Structure 1
């Protein structure tokens, strides 16, 4: 059995909560032979059946497609990011760009200030070390 198939079966079993193939098939409204062929024996599993299975259990079908190796996680994330970006107004996009640029400039200025002031570096290091120590003691 391939590593991809093992990953998918682990996802399938976590979603189904120990249901048998017969119980899965009943929940999906299909024959249990199809469940076995499409969700256990087929490598990779059949996309349509993965989607039907996920919907029958009320989980996101994209997670199943990723677990089955039918799409990459990066593809799923990229697709999820596109819709909000497309629906954002030009002003919202510009405001986000300005916010990011201000954040980048503040970060760069803080790094320059820290590099120019060894005493500041020492204070920051002391603050970080005391925070770690407090965490260990509590």
Structure 2
């Protein structure tokens, strides 16, 4: 852990360690012994309106890349699929060479599959082409 966490907390709060301990209801000696623990860092940060994640990073308890990774994963899980697709399309439109990017059309409702042509099914990614990998003639017998 970072031994400069007390200096970081003092600079962020504007209080001494003693003042922080009193504000948290701790004795100064207990506070000083535990100042590098996640619990104390979080408690001080919350008491002073500081983002606790910043304190945990400053204390060396967690790394900034871990926070970014966790935030990205949890944020992406909450994003609707259409918003993800729109972002992919927006990024692809900014590329100079978009020849390998298939054009997608976002629709609010499912198409009527019963009247769909083979070409439309392929455009929606619903039908395979014979030239696709692992696609070939079906040699197994079929029942009428």
Tell me which interval the TM-score lies in, with the shorter structure as reference length. 0.5 to 0.7
Please give the per-residue CA displacement for 1:114-133, whole angstroms capped at 9, x wherever unaligned.
xxxxxxxxxxxxxxxxxxxx
Q: Does 1:91 align with 2:76?
A: no
Question: How far apart are the structure 1 equivalents of 2:87 and 2:11?
Answer: 38
Residue in 1 aligned with 2:10? 13
Question: How far apart are the structure 2 equivalents of 1:98 and 1:75?
Answer: 28
Please give the per-residue CA displacement for 1:16-56, whole angstroms capped at 9, x wherever unaligned.
21x222210111122212221112xxxxx111111111111
Would you say the 8 A contact 2:6–2:17 is kept in 1? no
Question: How far apart are the structure 1 equivalents of 2:21 and 2:64?
Answer: 27
Question: How far apart are the structure 2 equivalents of 1:104 and 1:35?
Answer: 54
Structure number with higher helix proportion: 1
Question: How far apart are the structure 1 equivalents of 2:71 and 2:8?
Answer: 20
Aligned length: 98
Q: Return 5+ residue gaps in structure 2 as ranges.
A: 99-144
Q: Does 1:26 align with 2:22?
A: yes
Report the TM-score, using the length of structure 2 for normalisation.
Answer: 0.61
